[in-house]
Amino acid sequence: MSLPALAAAERVFLEALNQLEVRYLVVGMSAAVVQGAPGVTQDIDLWFERLDDPRIGQAAKTAGGVWVSGSFGMRPPSIGGLGLEDRFDVVLHLHGLRDFESEYAESCTEMVDAVPLKPLPLERVIVSKRAANRLKDRAQLPALEATLAAARPEADSET
């Protein structure tokens, strides 16, 4: 028996985002894990096309949570509340990447607990982690690169 990756409220929130047609990407280690990379993460990083989209708040409310859109650059946006807790982080900037539209256009859909998600492609996660150059990002690179190498078709022809 496998355990669900998403809690009930998380699933409701993501399904509501999809039903309301809010454009977002799952990024960071969350995106890597969705694509089969070994690793763990404590939260789900989301990059929204538009932070001023009122449908984000609607989706949070549907899941019993709240959307705080931030305030005048003093406070970053956040998603929380009962059930959603602090599991979602809103990403404002990703090092080394292009604009949202360009990255979104190259993403594919992955199913997680029967919820369709759009993760940033693993190649782009690696680019971003390399550009951020934080210690924790550098530590994750070997596993991410190995996962990417194993997923490439030419890896099959060498065995």
Distance (Å, whole) CA 18 – CA 5: 18
Overall size of the chain counted in residues: 159
pLDDT (tens digit per residue) in 56-107: 999 999 999 999 987 656 678 999 988 888 899 999 989 999 999 999 999 9
Name the residue ranges covered by the structural domains of the chain: 8-157
Task: Taking the CA atoms of 65, 129, 71 and 26 in sequence, report the sign of the dihedral they define.
Answer: negative
Instruction: Provide the pLDDT for residue 52.
Output: 92
The architecture in CATH of the region 8-157 reads: 2-Layer Sandwich (3.30)
